[in-house]
């Protein structure tokens, strides 16, 4: 009789099924949270290219963290009026 062993995915070879599901769930939540923050910041700053990049590319939050902490410029505290426009001179 032929002994056919099931094909194991890489995560299944090292982790039990319940733990692999938990790790996957944590990674998904982590990615969604960082992607949400990065998309929000890119939209608020009018950076369309970054917005599209975050929509298309999935880097498990790494690119989003780099963008949020190093690449995006924070809005100036006194240079923008209450309606989001530059104050009149």
- Return the domain boundaries, the chain: 34-67
- Residue 21 confidence class, pLDDT cut points 50, 70, 90: confident
- Residue 19 confidence class, pLDDT cut points 50, 70, 90: confident
pLDDT digits (tens, 9 = 90+) for 36-54: 999 999 999 999 999 999 9
- The predicted model scores a pTM of 0.62
Cα separations (Å) of 55 from 2, 8, 12?
A: 47, 31, 29
């Amino acid at each position: 009789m032929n002994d056919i062993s099931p094909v194991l995915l890489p995560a299944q070879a090292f982790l039990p099924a319940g733990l692999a599901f938990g790790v996957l769930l944590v990674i998904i939540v982590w990615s969604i949270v960082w992607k949400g923050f990065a998309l929000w910041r890119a939209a608020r700053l009018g950076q369309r290219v970054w917005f599209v990049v975050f929509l298309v590319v999935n880097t498990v939050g790494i690119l989003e963290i780099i963008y949020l902490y190093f690449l995006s410029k924070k809005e100036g505290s006194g240079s923008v009026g209450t309606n989001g426009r530059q104050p009149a001179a």
